Each structure stands twice: as structure tokens, then as C-alpha cells.
Amino acid sequence: MSSKGRKKRQETKKAEEPLPLLGRPLIWVGSSKDDITAMPSPVKASFGFRLRRIQQGMPAADTKALPQFGKGVFELREAYDTNAYRVMYVVALKKAVYVLHAFMKKSKSGKGLPKNDTNLIQTRLKRAQEIDTENGHE
């Protein structure tokens, strides 16, 4: 078979594969779901849309890697009504996308995360790793 015929068949196969509607499961660690729920509606909608894209394996806008927590940990950022909102999540685990932390950023000048948020993310990341290695998930 010619390379031209093989290429056409590969393109046809790719076109037939639908995008998964739900993709990987989304698991909320700690109070992260309640924390997002308490945010303003436009912020919740933006984070929800982007988390769905992440579940489907698609890129999401305004995402920043957080290498200080290890490979596959990211931050979603949103600005609304002079406030800054953040959602931290991990995609590097096998079973799901785990939402680790969601909060309104208090400091307008500092680029780093406050120590208590850093500690909370590390604790919840360890919990996500435990959940990911258990049989089934919560």
C-alpha cells in the first residue's frame, strides 16, 4: 500500500474517534468543592469550564505549572471584581484529575503562595496520591 493511502486511512480513523464527553473523573480533595461553590458565579463558571477541558485532556486558558509540588500539579487563575482566585489541581495521577485547593488570593503584591496554602496543597496532594493507589476511589 502506498504511503498516501496509509496516511488517508489514518486521518479517517482520527476523525471517527469522538472526544470523550466526561473524560477522566474529577475528584475533589478536602474542602475544594465547597470552596469553589462559595466563589462568585462567573468565577465558578470559568473554573468549571476549564476543569471540564482538563478532564477531556484539552488545554485550558490561564494555567500555570507549579513545579514546587512535583510534576503534573497546576494552577488555574481567574481575576474578577478586583480579586484574584486560584484552583490547584493535579493531572499526573492515573485514575483522575484531583482538585487540591481553591481560594481567593489575599495578597495583591506577592507572587508566591502563602505558607498555609502551600502546606495545605502538599497535604492534599499526598491524600490524592493515596486515593489514586487505593482500589476504586472516593
Report how far residue 50's alpha carbon sits from residue 60's, in angstroms, rounded to the nearest whole number.
5
pTM, 2 dp: 0.80
Q: What is the predicted pLDDT for the residue at 106?
A: 79
User: Which of 94, 90, 93, 89 is closest to 77 using CA atoms?
Assistant: 89
Give ∠ CA 88-91-93 in degrees, rounded to 5: 120
Q: Which three cell numbers stand for residue 28?
A: 475533589
- Residue 8's pLDDT band, with cuts at 50, 70 and 90, is very low
Q: Which three cell numbers stand for residue 42?
A: 462567573
Q: What is the predicted pLDDT for the residue at 107?
A: 67
Residues 49-94: tens digit of each pLDDT: 999 999 999 999 999 999 999 999 999 999 999 999 999 999 999 9
- Residue 28's pLDDT band, with cuts at 50, 70 and 90, is very high
| Predicted confidence (pLDDT) at residue 101 exceeds the cutoff of 50 | yes
Report how far residue 103's alpha carbon sits from residue 39's, in angstroms, rounded to the nearest whole number.
8
> Domains in the chain, ordered, with CATH?
20-133 (3.30.2310.20)
User: Which of 106, 67, 73 is closest to 87 using CA atoms?
Assistant: 73
